[in-house]
Amino acid sequence: MSASGEPEKVASRELVHEFRNLLAVIVNYCELIADETSDPAAVQSDLHEIRTAAERALVLTEQIPVPPKKS
């Protein structure tokens, strides 16, 4: 394995780890909403957390290297 490929693998693992964490946030807050339907303020707070995590995930995907399309 070349030395130049190793930093890319570490960065990729870190991206995957962070993305999985963000997905866990989204899933967990969705579960909270299901339990808090009678408390509109709690639902609003949970929705804010979901949106924040989703926006961070979108930014994170911009860091994922994408190979060029073959023509």
Read out DSSP for 13-41?
HHHHHHHHHHHHHHHHHHHHHHH-TT-HH
And the tokens for 7?
């930093």
pTM attached to this predicted model: 0.66
* Amino acid 2: pLDDT: 46
* Amino acid 1: pLDDT: 45
Average pLDDT, the chain: 83
Give 10-44 pLDDT, tens digit per residue: 777 888 888 888 899 999 989 988 888 888 999 89
The pLDDT confidence band at residue 4, using thresholds 50, 70 and 90, is low
Cβ neighbours, 10 Å, residue 69: 5
Between 25 and 69, the more confident residue is 25
